[in-house]
Amino acid sequence: MKWEVSALVLISLLVLSLGYTLRDNNSISSLQEKPEPYIVYPAKVEETIYAGFPPVSTNYSVVANITVTILNHQLKANWDFVITNRTGNSTILYIKSPSFGKLSLTLEGKQINTSKLSRYSLPLRYTQVILLNVTYPKDIPLHGTLEYETIVNSSFHQYILGDFVKFSPIYYPENYPSIIVFSTEWPLPVSPAGVLINSNSLHNPIPETYNLTLILPSTYTVLSDYYLPRIEHKDKKLVVTFKNIKPNPTNYRFIYIFDQNFFQKTKSTIRNATLVFYTPEKSYLDFQGLTNATTQIFWQFVKYLSTSPYQEVNVFFNPDVIFGEEFEYFGKGIAIIGLHGRYGFLDNKDISSTTAHELAHLWFGSYANAGRLDESLATFMELNMSNLTGESLDGREKRAVRDSKSSGISLAQAYQNGILDPQIRLSVQYNKGAFVFRSLQFVLGNETFFEGLRELLRECHGRECNLTDVQDVFEKVSGQDLDWFFKEWFYSTRVPDYEVENLSITQRDDKCFLTFEIIDKNNFTMPLEVEVMTSKEKLVKKVWIKGKAKVSFELNDKPTKITLDPNEWMINENKKYNAKEIEIEIN
């Protein structure tokens, strides 16, 4: 019996001993799972303007929860992030933040002294990039919190929180901040490495996914083309929650947030659509003139394309946005019209051109999707409104010819691969593409061409079309083989290069007979308008040029001027010269 009791006691002691051992081992294991990160502070802190970062030997992934609060001119931003998939124990974190305000960073609960870290500045963007070298087991997720806060006032300029938050500081600083723009593509200031766009522009790689919460005054309203957020009001605040955002690095989208007290609201009705205009309360601009011009442009588009893509279209005239943007928001069309250009505020004429372009995108880009072709189509619709906007087409054509030749990029290549250089992209993808569709309008005639656009809207609604689809649509509508047109205009970098040669004038009785040849050095096949002027009359003929063509006019007086393409239907080599005392102009 004593032996059995002794054995029982021994077993109990062994079990207790094993339990303590397991508990101690678990404690050790727990400590091993959560070691303290080791921060390598540089011996000498460097503060330099960005000129390139040192090589990075490690990489990693980031997932984040982000909360941004803007109340009573105070901005607070909080990033809770987790870094995984590191390729080495030693990792360089690139922390992008404004170069002002208060910044706090912790890793695994350890406070980081950011003042002891080297940094690179982007002065024109009021941004800095801080380099943090941390050692931590690569197989263990690294948790961190980045907090930033500052006072939002009229001393703010341009970009806040890198490319994440932008304010409108220029127009009415006393109402500040009246307009806020959040980019959904670059929201996290902690990244594997910066991507240099130019000496003052640095984009960070995006996180894999993140959640975003915005807390704002209740007078604000939110518009977004990226993600349908959850919007609610709590304690006289607007709370906007975006769940599981998966950014698309090839398609940048934005969240626009407006203070409704900043705008006055007016409406107009066109057929089956309601236009709602939001204009700043105070301005040097004639907003009544702008809204009237916008209504006329929209009405013309509806006539060309048969219907409005949305029953309600909201047009926001934004004082500090350059150019503009359009998107669909809860079944409504949204057009953001910038009032501020690269070199200052715009006048009504320039704003009307932007308005025409962004409104056209509600059809081509928002309702229907033809990829990069949408920019050509929207610019074409914009050019068609030149009688309302007062814009001359001559400057656009010259730049398009110049940059198309210098870049060697065809429209088909631009649609397939895109163009990085913004000037070349504007000249080729926007302006040359617009002129090419204008030339197709001239070839097919107005009725057939616009029926083709309407069919394109039907075909490309709900799916992305490409250049082949566009050709198929216009061939189906016109009943013509247009392969010749698409090959010479979309798949070539050349444009027509016309010359007037072999000119002769014969006088018989009271008539003057003019004959000449039109030579196209680039051998295009195209119809061409030819205008001849005398002191008494102006005559216009439409002729087909297949490399060259002979043209004759019977006139009542001696000709003074010959103009090729007087209405600028196509993009070509422009020139002026004289032949036999006759002015030759090729538009």
Cβ atoms of 357 and 382 closer than 8 Å: yes
User: CATH fold of 498-586, please?
Assistant: Immunoglobulin-like (2.60.40)
Q: Is the dihedral of CA 452, 457, 461, 463 positive or negative?
A: positive
Q: Domain 47-260 falls in which CATH fold?
A: Immunoglobulin-like (2.60.40)
What spatial distance separates the first Cα and last Cα of the chain, rounded to whole Å? 118
Token couple for 232? 């609610």
Do 262-490 and 498-586 have matching folds?
A: no
143, 108 contact by CB (below 8 A): yes
The reported pTM is 0.75
Most confident of 93-102, 160-169, 175-184, 414-423: 414-423
Taking only the tens place, the pLDDT of each residue in 525-534 is 999 999 999 9
Q: 262-490: CATH homologous superfamily? A: Neutral Protease Domain 2 (1.10.390.10)
Sheet holding 179-183, edge to edge: 159-160, 165-167, 179-183, 254-259, 220-224
> Which of 79, 45, 82 has its CA nearest to residue 65?
79
* Confidence check: pLDDT of 370 > 70: yes
Note the pLDDT of residue 229: 67
pLDDT (0 to 100) of residue 54: 53
Does the pLDDT of residue 156 top 70, yes or no? no
Nearest residue to 255 via CA among 212, 218, 217: 212
For residue 561, give the H/E element and its range: strand 559-564
Domain borders along the chain are 47-260, 262-490, 498-586
In this structure, of 172-186, 267-281, 489-503, the range with the lowest mean pLDDT score is 172-186
Count Cβ atoms within 10 A of the Cβ of residue 28 and give its class: 0-12 exposed, 13-18 middle, 19 or more buried. Answer: exposed
In tens, the pLDDT along 284-338 reads 677 888 899 899 999 999 999 998 999 999 998 877 666 788 888 888 999 988 8
Tokens representing 42 are 């540089």
Q: State phi, psi for 481 to the nearest 5 degrees.
A: -85, 110
Which residue, 570, 364, 541, is CA-closest to 461?
364
Length of the chain: 587
Q: What's the pLDDT tens digit per position in 448-500? A: 999 999 999 999 998 999 999 999 999 999 999 999 999 999 999 999 999 99
* pLDDT at residue number 173: 40
How far apart, in whole angstroms, are the C-alpha atoms of residue 35 and residue 134? 12
